[in-house]
Amino acid sequence: MRTFTAPAGWPALRHGLASRLPEPTLAALDPAVEFAVRCHGDQTRPAGEPYVEHLLEVLDVLVEGVGVDDPDVLRAAILHDTVEDTPCTLAEISERFGPGVATLVDWVTKPEPGAGQDRDEARRAYLARLQDAPADALVLKLADRLSNVQRLDSHPSPAKRRRYFQETVRWIVPLAQGQPWFRQWYDEWQRKHQHLGEEAS
């Protein structure tokens, strides 16, 4: 099972992607990375790594794994958590990076619970909505979840590991079936982490 990492940051990843992406596309990513780094600040992931590593992993999955080269999709990969996890708004994303990027970010942003909803209900509604996502938004979500689960055994909470495995198998794996590269990756991932499903049963 292939894993994706970006511990050396954007300059190193940018250099590595230079053989896959034209310079104008890389140049379009520079301000998106700068903006995301500023928005996310000192946020970290559950295992303690800087949050920006997750954003760069998602970008790397799309380019190196899937072969995506659309600048809007790639900028959305970098910016996909800014609205959900920082004070940034969709209007600001649209103004800075265009409505196409903002639409993709909107698709992968979990909304706050609506009237009469708790957080679990809102999360399930968000996951169910992804079944109707356009192709670019779906690929973005599959790459996002790949980064989140590729090293699931390193998550500090055993209960969260089990819940996240179950949720991924229930909602995300079916979305990958129409995407050959993702389908193969998630099949390998599910076999590798099957013990989490057995622990939860």
Name residues whose C-beta falls within 8 Å of residue 150's C-beta, 6 or more positions apart in sequence: 1, 3, 4, 57, 189
In the annotation, is 85 catalytic?
Answer: yes
Of 89, 94, 41, residue with least CA distance to 72: 94
Of 94, 75, 3, residue with least CA distance to 36: 75
In whole angstroms, give the CA distance from residue 37 to residue 79. 9
Asked if residues 22 and 47 have their Cβ atoms less than 8 Å apart, the reply is no
Record the tokens describing residue 12, joined without a space: 């190193």
Of 146, 141, 193, residue with least CA distance to 166: 193
Give the active site residue among 64, 69, 70, 85. 85
Tokens 């909107």, located at residue: 106
Give the active site residue among 30, 34, 84, 198. 84
In whole angstroms, give the CA distance from residue 72 to residue 136. 9
The CA-to-CA distance between both ends of the chain, in Å, stands at 25
Name residues whose C-beta falls within 8 Å of residue 60's C-beta, 6 or more positions apart in sequence: 4, 5, 6, 13, 17
Tell me the catalytic residues: 84-85
